[in-house]
């Protein structure tokens, strides 16, 4: 794993891979996320099953903007095409969450989901980016140390008439 200097200490550089139905799959570090897109701020409170209510301030780019730059394989002019896509976000500990593209698309749910680059003012380079779901009351979809964001089409089972 590459090493970068943050402050006065060397840290392993963690990255996340954008993969799946994308025209331009890419691997990004927290530093890439901070430098490549507008940073948004979210002050959140969510319930954690183990630790109770959590209050944090996150900063980072919108997930939809980062994924849009990787070129999702849908026709942006066709809403029904966009509404078939899913995103699966995986963390370094194996925890994952699934979102629909429509949930974050400005024409649908317009959820301001972040790929956090800072938490409470602290850079996340040592830990990796975190998925931030500002509208969720439960913290289960907050994914830490993101390693992968998969984008793909939802494939429901065939209709059998039942």
What does the pLDDT profile of the chain (162 residues) look like in tens digits?
Answer: 444 444 444 445 699 999 999 999 999 999 999 999 999 999 999 887 788 888 999 999 999 999 999 999 988 888 888 999 999 999 999 999 999 999 999 999 999 999 999 999 999 998 999 999 999 998 889 999 999 999 999 888 888 876
User: What is the per-residue pLDDT for 162?
Assistant: 63
- The length of the chain in residues reads 162
Single out the residue of 104, 98, 141 nearest to residue 130, CA to CA. 141
Measure the CA angle with vertex 42, ends 102 and 114; round to 5°.
40
Distance CA 114, CA 33 (A): 10
Q: Is the dihedral of CA 34, 133, 109, 27 positive or negative?
A: positive
**Cross-strand pairs, 52:** 48
Q: Which fold has domain 9-153?
A: Sulfite Oxidase; Chain A, domain 2 (3.90.420)
Q: What does the pLDDT read at residue 8?
A: 45
User: Half-sphere exposure of residue 157, counting CA atoms within 13 Å on the CB side?
Assistant: 3
At 150, which helix (H) or strand (E)? strand 146-153
Quick one: tokens of 83? 């509404």
For residue 23, which phi and psi values (nearest 5 degrees)? Answer: -75, -25
Domain range summary for the chain, segments of one domain joined by +: 9-153
pTM score, two decimals? 0.87
């Amino acid at each position: 794993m590459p090493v970068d200097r943050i402050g006065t200490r060397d840290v392993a550089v963690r990255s996340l891979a954008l993969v799946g139905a994308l025209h331009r799959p890419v691997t990004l570090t927290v530093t890439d996320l901070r430098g490549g897109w507008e940073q948004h701020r979210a002050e959140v409170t969510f319930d954690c099953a183990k630790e109770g209510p959590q209050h944090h301030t996150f900063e980072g780019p919108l997930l939809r903007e980062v994924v849009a730059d990787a070129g999702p394989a849908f026709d942006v002019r066709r809403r029904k095409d966009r509404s078939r896509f899913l995103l699966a976000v995986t963390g370094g500990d194996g925890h994952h969450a699934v979102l629909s593209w429509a949930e974050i698309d400005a024409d649908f749910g317009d959820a301001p989901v972040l790929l956090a680059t800072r938490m409470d003012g602290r850079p996340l380079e040592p830990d990796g980016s975190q998925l931030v779901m500002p509208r969720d009351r439960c913290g289960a979809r907050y994914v830490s140390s993101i390693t992968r964001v998969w984008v793909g089409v939802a494939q429901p089972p065939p209709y059998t008439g039942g």
